[in-house]
Each structure stands twice: as structure tokens, then as C-alpha cells.
């Protein structure tokens, strides 16, 4: 696997690059598991999730926001894993990487619905919000066709990581456990959710460290400069989004 990372580094350019990829592999899984730990105290299904938001809106909003942030930030990690797998197992990389990415899009869509449901609790009341979600639950949308991608993409990519040597057997199993993470709207946390996100941490955190350490370390000046630039850009994007 180290040879595969060095092979990427030897190319003139590869997307998204070791810094974005490595940071993604470390931060995204931690955000996902933290979100699940925050929600473990609540019942799993949507009426209880809406009730939890009604009682503890800050906590529930934080947990759901952490999951959405982790889900969005996961894409550079998946692209990089697919690149590494593709050097020896291109078919597994193409199919697994594509399906997992489609699954990330689908989960982001679900969390948009979650946000709207929580706003119904605020602008109307809890019983009306529960009724609105219950009456519309299962309504067709094009993203529902990606449910299989959410479930099977992780397994296919995990097989590819093992066959290509990108991850050990334990790491590949951990990656594949993400297929067990419940999909859909307003899903809480269960033991399986904790297991799945723990598996993702086992798979990606060590790989992220190796990706980050695969090249020369930047100078302190560069670290500070890039940190300030990223902080400034994130602040601008936040306030620009609020203005819209």
C-alpha cells in the first residue's frame, strides 16, 4: 500500500492531493462517529427524533450537522481510496468508488429533508410536524433509486481495498461495515450505527496518517498561512450562505 501512495505522489498532479485527502480521512470519520454518539440517548425512529429536537434542539441540531459535515467531507477520502485501489484493481475501484459517492449524495439529500422536518417543529409544533412527516414518508423521489448504492457501494469498495492491498483485512472489514449504517430520513443511532462508524475510523484514520506522511512536511509559515486562508474562506462562505 505504501508503494501505491508513493506512486500517486510521483505523478505531476493527482486529485484531490494528499493534504485534502489525508485530512478528509481523519476528520470525516470522527465527525460521523461523534454525531452517532450524541444521538445514542434517543429512540431511533422519526417521531422520537422530532421529539428529541423539540426538547433539546441545540444538541440534536449539532449531532445532525456533524453527520452532514462528515458525510460531505468524506468525498476526498473516497476519491483517494478509489485511486489507490484502481492501481491494481481498477474494476473494483470504479464500481465501488462510484457507488459510494452516489451514496454520499443520497445521504446529503436525506439530511436536507431532516432539516425541513426540524423546522416544522419550530414554526408549527411537534404533533403537526410528526403528522406531516408520517403522511409524506415513503413518497417517491429520484434519490430513492440510490438506496442500493448506499448499501452495496461500501462492500464493493471494501473488497477492492483488500484485493489491492490498500487496507488490511481488518481495515477492509471496517470499511465494509458502513453498508450497515441505516439509510433514510430522520434515522437515529443504534449499536449498529456505532459499529459502522467505528469501522470507518479503523479503516481510514491510519490510512489518512500514511497519506499525510507520504511527502515532505510543510514549513510552519506555510501551515499558518494555509490555516488562516482556510479559516477566512470558511468564514466568508458561512456568512455568504446566511445572506442567501
Could you read off the pLDDT of 142-153 as tens digits, one per residue? 998 999 999 999
pLDDT score for 244 = 60
Residue-wise pLDDT for 196-229, tens only, equals 999 999 999 999 999 999 887 777 788 788 788 8
Query: Do 234 and 197 lie in a common domain?
Result: no
Give me 153's grid cell: 457501494
Query: Do 45 and 59 lie in a common domain?
Result: yes
The domain in which residue 197 lies consists of 2-213
> What percent of the chain lies above the pLDDT cut of 90?
77
The mean per-residue pLDDT over the stretch 184-205 comes to 96
Query: Do 51 and 94 lie in a common domain?
Result: yes
Query: Do 80 and 38 lie in a common domain?
Result: yes
Query: Do 189 and 121 lie in a common domain?
Result: yes
The total domain count for the chain is: 2
Q: Is the peptide bond before 42 cis (omega within 30 degrees of 0)?
A: no
d(C-alpha 242, C-alpha 244), whole Å: 5
Query: Do 158 and 239 lie in a common domain?
Result: no
d(C-alpha 94, C-alpha 99), whole Å: 8
218 versus 188: the higher-pLDDT residue is 188
Three-state secondary structure call for residue 219: coil
Query: Do 105 and 196 lie in a common domain?
Result: yes
pLDDT score for 12 = 72
Query: Do 244 and 160 lie in a common domain?
Result: no
Query: Do 148 and 231 lie in a common domain?
Result: no
pLDDT score for 10 = 66
Q: Is the peptide bond before 102 cis (omega within 30 degrees of 0)?
A: no
The mean per-residue pLDDT over the stretch 120-143 comes to 93
pLDDT score for 229 = 87
Query: Do 207 and 238 lie in a common domain?
Result: no
pLDDT score for 231 = 86
Query: Do 242 and 151 lie in a common domain?
Result: no
Query: Do 139 and 158 lie in a common domain?
Result: yes
Residue 31: is its pLDDT beyond 80?
A: yes
Opening angle at CA 68, ends 66 and 70, nearest 5: 65
Question: For residue 47, what pLDDT band results from cuts at 50, 70 and 90?
Answer: very high
Amino acid at each position: 500500500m505504501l508503494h501505491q501512495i508513493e506512486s500517486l505522489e510521483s505523478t505531476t498532479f493527482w486529485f484531490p492531493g494528499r493534504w485534502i485527502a489525508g485530512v478528509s480521512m481523519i476528520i470525516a470519520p470522527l465527525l460521523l462517529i461523534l454525531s452517532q454518539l450524541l444521538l445514542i440517548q434517543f429512540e431511533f425512529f422519526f417521531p422520537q427524533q422530532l421529539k428529541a429536537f423539540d426538547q433539546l434542539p441545540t444538541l440534536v441540531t449539532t449531532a445532525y450537522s456533524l453527520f452532514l459535515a462528515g458525510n460531505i467531507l468524506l468525498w476526498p477520502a473516497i476519491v483517494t481510496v478509489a485511486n489507490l485501489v484502481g492501481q491494481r484493481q481498477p474494476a473494483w475501484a470504479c464500481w465501488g468508488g462510484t457507488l459510494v459517492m452516489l451514496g454520499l449524495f443520497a445521504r446529503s439529500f436525506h439530511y436536507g429533508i431532516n432539516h425541513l422536518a426540524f423546522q416544522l417543529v419550530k414554526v408549527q409544533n411537534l404533533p403537526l410536524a410528526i403528522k406531516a412527516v408520517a403522511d409524506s414518508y415513503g413518497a417517491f423521489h429520484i434519490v430513492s433509486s440510490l438506496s442500493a448504492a448506499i448499501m452495496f457501494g461500501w462492500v464493493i469498495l471494501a473488497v477492492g481495498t483488500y484485493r489491492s492491498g490498500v487496507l488490511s483485512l481488518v481495515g477492509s472489514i471496517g470499511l465494509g461495515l458502513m453498508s450497515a449504517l441505516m439509510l433514510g430520513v430522520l434515522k437515529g443511532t443504534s449499536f449498529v450505527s456505532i459499529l459502522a462508524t467505528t469501522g470507518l475510523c479503523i479503516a481510514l484514520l491510519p490510512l489518512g496518517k500514511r497519506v499525510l506522511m507520504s511527502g515532505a512536511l510543510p514549513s510552519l509559515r506555510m501551515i499558518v498561512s494555509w490555516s488562516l486562508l482556510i479559516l477566512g474562506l470558511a468564514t466568508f462562505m458561512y456568512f455568504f450562505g446566511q445572506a442567501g
